[in-house]
Amino acid sequence: MNSIQDILEVMPHRYPILLIDRVLEMDEKHIRAIKNVTFNEPHFMGHFPDHPVMPGVLLVEAMAQAGGFLFLNQVEDRQNKLIYFAGIDNCRFRRPVVPGDQVVFDLEVKSVRRGFAKLHGTATVDGELACEADMMSAMMER
C-alpha cells in the first residue's frame, strides 16, 4: 500500500490538482487507488453551491493520475519524466460523486508501445460504477 507521502515522491502534481490519496494495490499491469472526496475541495464552491457534485473532468483526471503513478513508479529516472494525458475514448459517467464519497479507481494496462500506453479505467463508489473510460498516455522527458 502506498501512502500520500509515497505518492508525493513519485507524482509531480500538488494541491489543488493532486487527486489520489492512496494506492491500495499495484502490479505491472493494474493499479487500484482511492480518492476521498471532501466538501472542502475548491471546486465545490461553484459546482454547484446548493448541490455539490465532483466535476466529471476531475474524476477522469484522478483516474489518469492513478495510471500515471503506475507508470512513473516503474521508471528509474522518473524525476526526469512526465506522463501526459494523450487521449480519451468511451468515457461515460454513471452516477454523481459527492462530498463524503470514497472513489476507488481501477486501471488496467491494455498496451504499451514506444512511450505510449492505453489503459481502461473505472471509478466506483460503494461498488457502484461512477465513471469508466479508455485512456491514452504519453511519457515524455521533462
Which amino acids are annotated catalytic?
A: 47
Q: DSSP assignment, residue 46? A: T
CA dihedral 32, 3, 100, 93 (to 10 degrees): -30
Alpha-helical (H) ranges within the chain are 4-10, 56-72
Stated as kind and residue range, the H or E segment containing 25 is strand 22-26
